[in-house]
Structure 1
């Protein structure tokens, strides 16, 4: 279908949560000298101009990254993420938002590798251009789910696999579970971070139930809602499901979620949620 463009949504509350979790996982993996692979199944264009027609049309970043931009009480755990965003906005004005591939590029070390895939015919060339001089990176126009078979396990036997599909097709909710199963069979010690939207709560519940039935252990759910669940159109919440999370991540997010909710949702509506949907 390929109609989804992340440029309409870049920097929104869901991106803030996703990239907070992503950066914390990367920093945890860097605590060991041994290299690791960062695999991004649905990479997008990489960089988003917040004054573009797409971003201005929705203005979603105004209720996301813009609400953190000028605050002087940022928790230490958010430093890596926000420093990555600042690296693209050197003059202090919030003009660009980096997607997950560019955040990874800034946080990874020389010995680490990036494997990025994107199918969209407009976004793929932009992504390839961003990484054309980065010898650590491989950029493919390909089905991201297939990369969970083709690229795992990495030679280093360490890695973060970010799975962030657009969910423009209902089958994505089943495809992500199948993809994780395929990857996990090949690389059971990897860290898998799955982003999901809450549009219809039943879809999310079904996906979580399917994950629970895979037999995979150590699955942590992290969710931030900006509005109560609704049967009306639109995303009310988003979350990250992390398999094999670094040992510090649960406590870090337990402390960060209330702060993020207060910062992003001044009205106090919505909720935060953190639980092990499958324990050890």
Structure 2
């Protein structure tokens, strides 16, 4: 049950689209004054070394953040270089903030990205859940260095179950109730697909106005194929706007299909500005991360 460790995959192409979407979504939500309860149901360790033993084993950042940075550096050197889209620049700035020496040695997971985006007046609250014993301990240790005070709560609990007690969220100082939830389990256990759909359905019953983000792998498994369809159906039934971003980087140049090559981000109650911002960003990210044959990206929305 506990064999999955995100450290092996930190900074890969899936992280790029996941965190690109998370940042763009939260930036939009924070345009309003009311505080936000932010929940990460599968938080991981929070911060990862890209030159560490785990990430070196898989080397997945080579087809993710490292490749993206390299391609952008090459593009910026051209005379007809185009400006970097707003959402992509926000993502790049976030990564750079954890690497002040200019070299990408550290990759922030969702907990550290979300913490960095909390507004300084403590109106936003971050709730992190991680069940893996090693990652939960690492998360607590990493977050302790942030001196975050009461703005962050960490629990070694099942995020799917613990989420229920947080919705609806408590009212902010202005009386408004707002929430953003990120679900990105490993899907190592096949039942995770059904749990995600069931949790989104439950979330919409408990707090219909929340914004819910789901990362999912695109693999040859019926459950994986059906998940975005189920999320789309749940959104439509609840009359909530949705967005589905997918990225396939294509096959390895040697023709093999080893490792994850495609994934998606589904957003329920997606901000109306998100589709245009992500399309602009993906027009750069998609070609930059493409390899071999079969690469593609798409931004679908209600």
**Same fold (TM > 0.5):** yes
Q: How far apart, in 2, do the equivalents of 1:208 and 1:62 lie?
A: 27
Larger Rg: 2
SS of match in other structure, 2:3: coil
Gaps of 5+ in 1: none
- Please name the residue that 2:118 is paired with: 108
Cα offset, 1:223, TM superposition: 0.3
Q: Which has the higher helix share?
A: 2
Deviation at 1:109, TM superposition (A): 0.6
Alignment of 1:134 with 2:134, yes or no, is: no
Superposition TM-score, scaled by structure 1 size: 0.93
Partner in structure 1 of residue 180 of structure 2: 160
**Alpha-carbon distance in 2 for matches of 1:197, 1:213:** 19
CA displacement at 1:43 relative to structure 2: 0.2
Find the aligned partners of 1:239 and 1:81 in 2 and give their Cα distance. 17
Cα offset, 1:213, TM superposition: 4.1
| 1:11 paired residue number | 11
For 2:67 and 2:273, locate their aligned partners in 1 and report how far apart those are by CA, in whole Å.
26
Deviation at 1:186?
Answer: 0.9
- Which of residues 236, 243, 246 is equivalent to 2:268? 243
- Which 4+ runs in 1 deviate beyond 6 A? none
In structure 2, the partner of 1:220 is 243
Q: Is the 2:218–2:225 contact (alpha carbons within 8 Å) kept by the matching residues of 1?
A: no
Q: Per-residue CA shift, 1:88-108, capped at 9, x if unaligned? A: 111001101000110111112
Could you give the per-residue CA deviations for residues 173-218 of structure 1, whole angstroms, max 9, x where no partner exists? 1110011111111111011000001121533321133334432332
Gap change, CA 1:22 and 1:212, over 3 Å in 2: closer
Alignment-derived partner of residue 186 in structure 1: 206
Assess if the C-alpha contact under 8 Å between 1:199 and 1:233 holds in 2: no
Deviation at 1:233, TM superposition (A): 5.4
In the other structure, the counterpart of 1:98 is 108
Partner residue in 2 for 1:255:
280
| C-alpha contact 1:262 1:268 (8 A) present in aligned 2 | no
Q: Which moved more, 1:147-156 or 1:211-220?
A: 211-220
Query: Offset at 1:256?
Result: 1.8
Structure 2 unaligned residues grouped into runs of 5+? 77-82, 172-176
